């Protein structure tokens, strides 16, 4: 049985005990990918942030909650040489330089200094723990192909899934996705605007035919 590592949901970077920085993600696409991987006979480690969907219960799925980018990367590094790594989570790019242990009182505005978070996808695509095949996700709103291909190269992953909204499909908090799977070798798969279940099935079916 092949092994897959997948990250889903959104991470949070707290400013104080009640406020945080995060990205939009319900976890629907991630959970659909888990369902497709199970149908393809994978044993799965799922590192999840905050999700709004029910977990699929299976003896072949291990769920580990990782609230922040730092936590997610720390856990990901524990799993060496898995067959497939799918990095679908909406990881916050930034965190505050100074976390306040007490709630910040409301005042006339608030200035925050943000610093870069560790890059989960790039770290796992270039490090000694690299999965045999790595897949990242890129949500883009402009110059979509150009920006996705740039991310593919900068993150050093094997494939990038480009997601981009259309007037009829906003992607977030819906049951539908839209996009293209792009490979470093030039191979690509135009998935289009379909349900997140079909979107996941097409990605997994395509990856099954790739020799690592």
DSSP string, 129-154: T--SEEEEEEE-SSSHHHHHHHHHHH
- What confidence tier does 119 reach under pLDDT thresholds 50, 70, 90? very high
Is 116's pLDDT higher than 70? Answer: yes
Q: What is the pLDDT of residue 74?
A: 97
Share of the chain above pLDDT 70, in %: 99
The pTM score is 0.95
Q: What is the pLDDT of residue 168?
A: 86
- When computed from its CA atoms, the radius of gyration of the chain, rounded to whole angstroms, is 17
Q: What is the pLDDT of residue 81?
A: 82
Structurally, the chain folds into a number of domains equal to 1
First-last CA distance in the chain: 15
Phi and psi at 80, nearest 5°, equal -95, 140
Q: What is the pLDDT of residue 27?
A: 96
**Residue 144: C-alpha distances to residues 4, 54, 129, 141, 185 (Å):** 28, 31, 29, 6, 19
Minimum mean pLDDT range among 34-38, 98-102, 167-171: 167-171
Comparison of pLDDT for 199 and 186, the residue scoring more: 199
C-alpha span between 59 and 112 (Å, rounded) = 44
Is 212's pLDDT higher than 70? Answer: no
Q: What is the pLDDT of residue 187?
A: 85
> DSSP character for 30?
H
Q: What is the pLDDT of residue 177?
A: 96
Q: What is the pLDDT of residue 108?
A: 83
Interior angle at CA 184, CA 179 and CA 189, nearest 5: 30
- What confidence tier does 211 reach under pLDDT thresholds 50, 70, 90? low
The distance of Cα 49 from the centroid of its chain, to the nearest Å, equals: 10
Average pLDDT of the segment spanning 20-47: 97
Is 205's pLDDT higher than 70? Answer: yes
What domain range is 91 assigned to?
2-208
Domain with 30 in it: what CATH number? Answer: 3.40.50.10300
């Amino acid at each position: 049985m092949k092994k897959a590592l997948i990250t889903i949901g959104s991470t949070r970077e707290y400013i104080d005990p009640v406020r945080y920085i995060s990205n939009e993600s319900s976890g629907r696409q991630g959970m659909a990918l888990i369902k497709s991987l199970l149908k393809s006979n994978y044993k799965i480690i799922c590192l999840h942030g905050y999700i709004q969907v029910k977990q699929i219960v299976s003896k072949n799925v291990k769920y580990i909650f990782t609230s922040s980018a730092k936590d997610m990367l720390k856990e990901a590094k524990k799993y060496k040489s898995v067959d497939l790594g799918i990095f679908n989570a909406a990881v916050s790019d930034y965190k505050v330089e100074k976390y306040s242990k007490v709630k910040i009182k409301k005042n006339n505005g608030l200035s925050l200094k943000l610093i870069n978070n560790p890059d989960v996808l790039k770290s796992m695509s270039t490090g000694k723990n690299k999965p045999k095949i790595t897949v990242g996700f890129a949500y883009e709103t402009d110059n979509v192909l150009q920006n996705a291909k740039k991310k593919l190269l900068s993150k050093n992953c094997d494939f990038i899934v480009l997601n981009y909204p259309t007037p009829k499909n906003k992607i977030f908090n819906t049951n539908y996705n839209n996009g293209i799977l792009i490979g470093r070798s030039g191979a690509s798969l135009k998935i289009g605007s379909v349900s997140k279940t079909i979107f996941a099935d097409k990605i997994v079916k395509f990856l099954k035919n790739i020799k690592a």
